[in-house]
Amino acid sequence: MTTARAQGATIWLTGLPSAGKTTIARGLAGRLRTEGHRVEVLDGDEIRRFLSAGLGFSREDRNTNVQRIGLVAEVLARNGVLTVVPVIAPYADSREAVRKRHQSSDTPYFEVHVATPVEVCSDRDVKGLYARQAAGQLTGLTGVDDPYEPPVDPDLVLETQHQTPQQSADAVYAMLAARGLV
């Protein structure tokens, strides 16, 4: 006898530091868990402590990081988990490879651009990175002195400077609902 399996998906939240990726991921995941879905959040900082330990922020290292996370996300999503990924993923070709990995196993994949302007991110500066860059203590900060290639055709764009965190998380939820995943 076969058992019906829940439909998984990967929801990748891409955007600048302090754009709101982590906050939205947590809000969305909380709601999904409350509703009984299987959910994982692949937190960028935690991944960098373990799975991607030793990697830095060069283009090559960021691509390696994103491909590793993409592999884990696809495995989880293919096995019925709603997998939320709040990771910058600044390079378009790298994100495209992750999308293709999902396509090849027919696993739903959503790219959400957390499109907060850099000025707003810099004001928020949750981890003090923008201040450190301005003070000359950090170089290669995404969106300031390192590239961020905005998605050309994302599944959803969030302008968080005009939204509460709950509204942003609800917009992602609505996208999943429209696709029959929740």
Question: Starting at the edge strand that comes first in sequence, how are the strands of the sheet with 39-41 ordered?
Answer: 39-41, 82-86, 9-14, 109-114, 156-158
**Candidates 52-60, 138-146, 149-157, 158-166; binding stretch for ligand ADP (CB under 6 A):** 158-166
Instruction: Out of 17, 70, 108, 151, name the contact with ligand ADP by CB under 6 A.
Output: 17
Among 12, 25, 48, 84, which residue sits at the site for ligand PPS (rule: CB under 6 A)?
Answer: 48
Site for ligand ADP in 71-130 (CB under 6 A): 86, 124, 126
Tell whether residue 8 is a contact of ligand PPS (CB under 6 A).
no
Nearest to 47 by CA among 30, 35, 59, 64: 64
Q: Quick one: 178 exposed, middle or buried, by C-beta within 10 A (0-12, 13-18, 19+)?
A: exposed
Q: Which residue is nearest to ligand PPS (CB)?
A: 44
- Out of 24, 89, 114, 156, the only residue in the binding site for ligand PPS (CB under 6 A) is 89
